[in-house]
Structure formats: structure tokens, C-alpha cells
Amino acid sequence: MFRSTLFWKVLILLGLTLMMLIPIGMVLGLIDGRNQYQQSVIERIEDGTSGEQIIVGPIIVVPFVRSSMETDSDGKSRIQYHEGKSYILPDNLKINGQVNVEPRKVGIYQAQVYQSDLHFTGSFPKVADNNTASVTYGKPYLVLSLADSRGITKVPEIMLNQHAEVFKPGTNYPDLPQGMHVELSDEMLNADKSLSFDFKLSLQGMGHLAVMPVGASSELNLSGNWPHPNFLGQFLPKKRVVTEDGFTASWQSSWIANNINNNFSRYDMRDLRTKGYSTEAYTYDRISSIPTFSTSFIEPVNHYQLNTRTVKYAILFISLTFVAFFLFEMLKSLSIHPMQYLLVAAALMVFYVILLALSERIGFAWAYCIAALSCSSLIGFYLSAVLKGAIRGISFAVGLLVLYGVLYVLLQSEDNALLLGAILLFIVLTVVMTLTRRLDWYKVAAPSSPSSPSSPSSPSSPSSNNGKNSDSAALSEVEAMPENSVEQNISEAIRNSDEDSQERRKYRLWK
């Protein structure tokens, strides 16, 4: 087995295939590095404007002081006072909004910065004065919390029971660190009816916009000019229409569905920018995933993800190329050096580098076409000499382009990728089995040796001596002939001998 040329050829090809995992890993690392650099650029844009926005509110916060009798270590009874804050959620909340998205570029990278105009309407239940002997309530105030207060472009006025008030900075509520508040007058608190509110908010953000449905009945109607919205959060819109000019969407929810009235104090809203889109489950004391009506304004296709998925098929491309070379070598009696295998594999790897570099500037589709045509043309030109024929080189390049086309279909049809990939592998295996169904692998794998013939004979036998004399005579005749007639005599001698004599005579005449 170890003297078989086929064995060593297959072993070398397996080694080359495994060796190509090194540049594949390097290309994946390059893609990851470029993706991280893009994220750093987006963070720089966010530092200069404002980040994703999550709106919580409006809610009414009621400060209170609770007194209790406690016994200290000396056995003396003392009154201890504890300060706290309770909240009141609205009975109903309705928000109508318009979003204008504008891409903001830094170099070759961009982020989606939006300007939103939101109109809040709704009402709160009457705020009752429930002071007791142990609990004393302070003056309530209304709070609107945001993920990034820098996005407030104009300080809004709010109408409370038809009285105009102006929001003040800060929330005065430690669980909601960013936002604004407005104090409630005694006239509003002493009114016998519910407290209605009406205000407009101009808010700037980047990437995402989300609203927490804090009302017993909450509704959000949102429209915008971004044609590729992604509706996230725990509530999908009841209605949505997406066109090339923009989108419209409507959400509805209630406490029966979201149970926010019972869980509000348990939500971890100390940093809405990091907690807003968490997929973590409920914890015992804090709930990190905040239920929201959410919309995302991001690029519909991340070319870095597509590049990563493309590179994952690199080992398949290289393997199929090596298999095609090996079939040419076996069926057409060609001799392809392992270095030629390696050079073609290197050209295949350059495809992924070109694709990554161009996709950052002209988009993935055009970058894919240019990279595929460039590398296929280079490989076809090189193989015209390796496979000893321009038609063979062009045919191989065309086959490679077809394979690139199939890969592009796989990338665009993520849901059907497994099915299409299985069909591709079945077709490739069918072609290989069809082309090699009549190939005698024992004959191909038989070791070629310049030693004695396969059927041993006695050294003193006439047939052995005659064979040696005839070989010596033929060798002497070849050496005496001019160089231009040596190849003709070799061909004639090979045609007139059996298969075993062909191998021996080829070796001796060549030597």
C-alpha cells in the first residue's frame, strides 16, 4: 500500500485540505475584526448623538415615609423612619408617532439616526390621600423616563386637566435615573375626577425605539420612512404595512396580557440601554427583560454575517476543486503537482478577501459577482496550461462560476440552505460515481516498480534469458539511434508488449 502512487496522492490531498483550514480561520478572524471596528464606529456616532431609546411612562411617583417601632440591642424601643416611593400607572395610554430615519456616515460605515415626534394622551386614576398612623405620603409628581436623555431635542409642555405645565430635568426616582418630571399641584390632586394628560415629545435616537405599555390599556401607532423595520420586543404589532416608502404599525396591550401593574417594581430599569433588549429570563427579585412595543431601524442585510456564512463553505469549495483535479488526473492520465493544487486553493481563498473588501463599499451582491468572476477567470487561465488545453481551463472556470452561483442561492435562502446543500452534495456524488464507475481502482493503485516482472521465472530459464537479451538489445538500439527517433521506437515497443512489459520498458528506456 505504501508503494502505491494513488495512496500518497490521496494522503497529500487530505493534508493540503486540512492545511487550508489555517487561512480559513485567518479570514474569519479578519471578518470579525472588521465587524468589531464597525461597532466601534457606531459607538462613536452614538457618543455624538444619542443611543437607542426606551420610553417608560408617564407614571406618577408618590414619596412616603413609613415609621415603625423597633427594639435595639439594649432592649430599648425606638421609632425608625424609612423613606420610599410608590407609583401609580395610567388607566389608559395612547401614543401616536412619526419617525424620520436618516443614515449617518463615518468613513465607509453608517448608522441609522432617527428623529421621532410622539404624541402622548391618557389619564390616571384619582390620587387619593391615604395617610395612616405609620405611613405619611408626600407630594406626588409625574415622571417620564428615557434610556438616553440627550435625545430630548425640545423641553415639552404637558397639559394636566387642561392646565399647562413644563417638564423639569431628572426623575427624582433612583430606579429611573434618566428622564424628566413635573410636579402636581394641589388643585390637580384635590380634583374629584381622574387626571388626564396630553403632551408631545420630540426625541432623537439611533437604531431602536421602544415604548413600555404601562397603561391598563395601551396603544401605539407608529409610522416612518424606513423601508426595512424590524419589530422586536415581547409584543408584535397587531397591524403592520411595510412598503418601499416606509411603514406603519399598531400595537395594543393591557395589564391582563402583560401583568405590568404587578411586576413594575421588579423590573430592572436602572440602565435601559443595556437591559432593553435582553433575552434573559425572569429572575426572582428583578426582571431584566422589559416588555415593550419595539421597532428596529437597522440594515436589512449585514454583509459581515453574509461573509462569515460564505467562508464557512470554503472547505467545501476546496474539496470539490481537489476532487475535480483528481478526476482529471485519473481519467485523462494527467500529472498535476501538489503545488498546483495549492496555488488553485490559494486563489479560492483570495476570493473571500476580495469579497470582504468590496462588500464594505459597494454592497454584498456586486462584490460577490466581481470576486467570483475575477477568481474564476484567474483559475481558468492558470488551468489552461495545467490541464493542457484552453477548453479544459475554460470549462473548469465555468463550473466554478456555477458553483459560486449555487452558493449565492444558499446564502440568500437561509431557510432552505440545508435542503439545497444536501441536493448539491448528492449531485456532486452522483457525478463522481458516474465518471468513475468503470475505473479499475486496483489497477490505478498498483505500485509501479522497475524490478522483475510479476510472474517470477528461473534465472536459467530460456524465457528469462531471452527477455533480458531482448531488453538489452532494445536498449542498445535506442541508445544508438538519433534523439528524434527515440520516442517513435519507444511507442512502437510499448504497443507490441503486454501490460507488465510496458511498465518495465517505460522505466528502463526513460532511465
Question: For 489-504, what is each residue's pLDDT tens digit?
Answer: 555 555 555 555 655 6
**417 and 279 fall within a common domain:** no
Most confident of 24-28, 90-94, 419-423: 90-94
Distance CA 338, CA 500 (A): 28
Is the residue at 449 inside a domain?
no
Residue 116: strand, helix, or coil: strand
Burial class of residue 144 in the structure, from the number of CB atoms within 10 Å of its CB (0-12 exposed, 13-18 middle, 19+ buried): buried
**21 and 163 fall within a common domain:** no
Distance CA 220, CA 227 (A): 19
- Stretch 277-296: mean pLDDT: 56
**72 and 195 fall within a common domain:** yes
**At 446, is the pLDDT very low, low, confident or very high (cuts 50, 70, 90)?**
low
Query: Is the Cα torsion angle 138, 144, 149, 153 positive or negative in sign?
Result: negative
- Stretch 3-8: mean pLDDT: 66
Q: Which residue is it, cell 404595512?
A: 241
Distance CA 18, CA 21 (A): 6
Q: DSSP letter string over 58-114?
A: EEEEEEEEEEEEEE-TTS-EEEEEEEEEEEE--SEEEEEEEEEEEEEEETTEEEEEE
How confident is the model over 172-224, as pLDDT tens digits?
A: 877 777 899 998 887 777 777 788 999 999 999 888 899 999 999 999 999 99
Query: With contact defined as beta carbons under 8 Å apart, do 66 and 146 qualify?
Result: no
Among 279, 297, 315, where does a domain finish?
Answer: 297
Is the residue at 41 inside a domain?
no
Is the residue at 91 inside a domain?
yes
Is the residue at 58 inside a domain?
yes
pLDDT for position 277: 37
Distance CA 450, CA 3 (A): 12
**412 and 496 fall within a common domain:** no
Half-sphere exposure of 489 (CA within 13 A, CB side): 17
- Cell matching residue 96: 401616536
**At 284, is the pLDDT very low, low, confident or very high (cuts 50, 70, 90)?**
very low
Half-sphere exposure of 493 (CA within 13 A, CB side): 24
**276 and 308 fall within a common domain:** no
Least confident of 69-78, 106-115, 268-277: 268-277
Q: Computed over its alpha carbons, how large is the radius of gyration of the chain? A: 39
**199 and 241 fall within a common domain:** yes
pLDDT for position 388: 81
pLDDT of residue 364 exceeding 50, the answer is yes
How confident is the model over 138-154, as pLDDT tens digits?
A: 888 999 999 888 888 88
pLDDT for position 3: 61
pLDDT for position 505: 57
The count of domains in the chain is 3
**434 and 492 fall within a common domain:** no
How confident is the model over 462-485, as pLDDT tens digits?
A: 444 444 454 454 444 444 455 545
pTM of the model: 0.67
Quote the domain boundaries for residue 463: 459-510
pLDDT for position 333: 67
**240 and 143 fall within a common domain:** yes
pLDDT of residue 16 exceeding 90, the answer is no
Query: ∠108-110-115 over CA atoms, to 5°?
Result: 155
Is the residue at 398 inside a domain?
yes
Q: DSSP letter string over 288-334?
A: -S---EEEEE--S--HHHHHHHHHTTHHHHHHHHHHHHHHHHHHTT-
**231 and 353 fall within a common domain:** no
Distance CA 255, CA 104 (A): 38
Is the residue at 275 inside a domain?
yes
**417 and 395 fall within a common domain:** yes
Is the residue at 416 inside a domain?
yes
pLDDT for position 278: 35
Half-sphere exposure of 458 (CA within 13 A, CB side): 3
**354 and 272 fall within a common domain:** no
Strand-pair category, 109-124 with 208-211: unpaired
Give the count of beta carbons closer than 10 Å to the beta carbon of residue 439: 12
Side chain identity, residue 328: F
**At 309, is the pLDDT very low, low, confident or very high (cuts 50, 70, 90)?**
confident
Distance CA 212, CA 270 (A): 14
Least confident of 113-127, 412-426, 485-499: 485-499
Among 416, 443, 470, where does a domain finish?
Answer: 443
Is the residue at 43 inside a domain?
no
pLDDT averaged over the chain?
78
pLDDT of residue 118 exceeding 90, the answer is yes
- Cell matching residue 356: 470582504
Question: What's the Cα-to-Cα distance from 32 to each of 27, 37, 440, 491, rounded to whole Å?
Answer: 9, 9, 47, 59
- Stretch 39-51: mean pLDDT: 81
Widest Cα–Cα separation across the chain: 132
**At 155, is the pLDDT very low, low, confident or very high (cuts 50, 70, 90)?**
confident
**434 and 333 fall within a common domain:** yes
Distance CA 208, CA 109 (A): 18
- Stretch 69-74: mean pLDDT: 72
Question: What's the Cα-to-Cα distance from 490 to each of 81, 327, 454, 497, 502, rounded to whole Å?
Answer: 113, 28, 21, 11, 10
Query: 21-48 and 303-311 helices cross at what angle (nearest 10)?
Result: 170
pLDDT for position 321: 81
Burial class of residue 488 in the structure, from the number of CB atoms within 10 Å of its CB (0-12 exposed, 13-18 middle, 19+ buried): exposed
**At 329, is the pLDDT very low, low, confident or very high (cuts 50, 70, 90)?**
confident
- Stretch 417-421: mean pLDDT: 76
Among 262, 297, 332, where does a domain finish?
Answer: 297
pLDDT for position 457: 41
Least confident of 26-30, 40-44, 127-131, 262-266: 127-131
- Stretch 119-138: mean pLDDT: 80
Bond before 58 cis per omega within 30 degrees: yes
